[in-house]
Amino acid sequence: MNISLNHYLLLSALLFAIGFFGVLLRKNTLVIYMCLELMLTASTLALVAFSRYNGTMDGNVFVFFILTVAAAEVAVGLAIIVALFRLRQTAQVDELNALKH
């Protein structure tokens, strides 16, 4: 079977969907965080595939920047999750309900 651009795009859309619905449905902040990373991975996969089939390098360059941004995002996010856990002894989203008026 020949693997074409569409296969990559399908996989990327699937990854994005898994990430997106995971963010909406899961309750643990760490699992939500993994799903967010999955969303970013989906766009990097699409970019690399497009870059290969377009014949330009811009997409590949963009991927490097996205990876760096994602790494910074993890650092910031995990710092806040750890601080939250120290304060409240929980990482479950449904127990974060102090902000309902």
Partner 1 sequence: MNAFIMPFLPELILLLGGLVIFVITLGDSLEKRARTAAITIALALLAASVLCFGQEAVLFDGAYRIDAFSQLLKLIISAGFLAIVILGGNLPDIRPAIKPEYHLFLTLSMTGLVMLVSCVDIITLVIALELSAFPLYFLVAMRREREGQRIQMESAIKYIMFGIAANGVMLFGFSYLYGLTGTTSLPEMMVKLQPVMHTPIAIVGLTLAFCGIFYKLAIFPFHFWTPDVYQGSSNETASLIASLPKVGGVAVLVRLASLASPDNTLIPILLSALAIVSMFYGNLIALAQKDLKRLLGFSGIAHAGYALVGFVAFNQAGFASALYYITGYMVMVIACFVVICRVSRDGSNVAISELAGLHRRSPLLALTLIVGLFALAGLPPFVGFMGKLGLLTTALARGHLALVIIAVLNAAIAIYYYLRVIREAVFGDDGGDQTPIVLDRSTQALCVLLIVAIIVLGVAPSPIINAISGSLAGLNLPLPPAAVY
User: With respect to partner 1, which residue has the nearer C-beta, 3 or 87?
Assistant: 87
Q: How far is the CB of 7 from partner 1 (least distance, A)?
A: 14
User: With respect to partner 1, which residue has the nearer C-beta, 3 or 99?
Assistant: 99
Contacts to partner 1 by CB under 8 A: 9, 12, 16, 19-20, 23, 29, 32-33, 36, 39-40, 42-44, 46-47, 49-51, 53-56, 58-59, 61-62, 65-66, 69, 72-73, 76-77, 79-81, 83-84, 87-88, 96, 98-99, 101
What φ, ψ does residue 92 adopt, rounded to 5°?
-90, 135
The DSSP symbol for 92 reads B
Q: What is the spatial distance between Cα 50 and Cα 101, in angstroms, rounded to a whole number?
A: 46
CA 41 centroid distance within chain: 6
The answer to whether the CB of 42 falls within 8 A of the CB of 16 is yes
Q: How far is the CB of 4 from partner 1 (least distance, A)?
A: 13
Q: In 3-state terms, what secondary structure has residue 57?
A: coil
